[in-house]
Amino acid sequence: MESGFYSYSAKSLQGKEISMETYRGKVVLVVNTASRCGLTPQLEGLEALYKKYKEEGLVVLGFPCNQFMRQEPGDENSIAQGCMLNYGVSFPMFSKIKVNGKEAHPLYKYLRKELKGCLGNAVKWNFTKFLIDREGNPVKRFLPVMAPAKIESYIRELLNTEERKQQKTERAENPTDKSGGNPGRIRK
């Protein structure tokens, strides 16, 4: 069995088991969320990124967590309603999980191992963000205070990397002459 990001799954807020394989080929931003945190307004910024780049291959995955000062006390229904009503969240949200300790969700154990934080591998607070490239490789971890708008350049870079690879492949399949024109074109 493949190990890595795509080998994990989690339950959606609706109780459906979702494999991370669903997001193969996408740039993924994984975020632990909370509805009663001073950083909760970041949901609006995360939604803005998702709407802006989802057609290019970005998906944001929200994982509610109640481990930090009990700032996510609600059940799945109240979490879903709060995210939608207050912040218009349309990106995938998952059931409440633990991100630290022995009972941490396996996906978070993996992400913490792959991308350590500045003070070790524990998630320090709500809205810690993990960025995954299109091949499922964890590439960057962002502190909770890092506003979504400030990570947009990293997302764009990963989205554009795929575009550049595609252009390179197209050039290799359709070589041009030294003038930069199409093959068979006569230079005057």
Query: What is the residue-level pLDDT of the chain in tens, covering all 188 positions?
Result: 456 999 999 999 889 999 999 999 999 999 988 776 656 667 889 999 999 999 999 999 999 987 766 656 677 666 666 556 566 678 898 889 888 899 999 999 999 999 987 767 887 878 899 999 999 999 999 988 899 999 999 999 999 965 656 665 666 676 654 444 444 443 33
* Domain housing 32: 5-173
Indicate which residue of 37, 65, 83, 118 is catalytic: 37
Report the alpha-carbon distance of residue 32 to residue 127 in Å, rounded.
Answer: 5
Tell me, yes or no, whether 83 lies in a domain: yes
Domain membership flag for residue 185: no
Residue 88: CATH number of its domain: 3.40.30.10
Q: Is residue 50 part of a domain?
A: yes
Q: Is residue 73 part of a domain?
A: yes
User: What's the number of domains the chain is made of?
Assistant: 1
The reply to whether 181 falls in a domain is no
**Confidence at residue 152, expressed as pLDDT on a 0 to 100 scale:** 96
Residue 179 inside a domain? The answer is no
In a domain, 142, yes or no: yes
Residue 65 designated active-site:
no
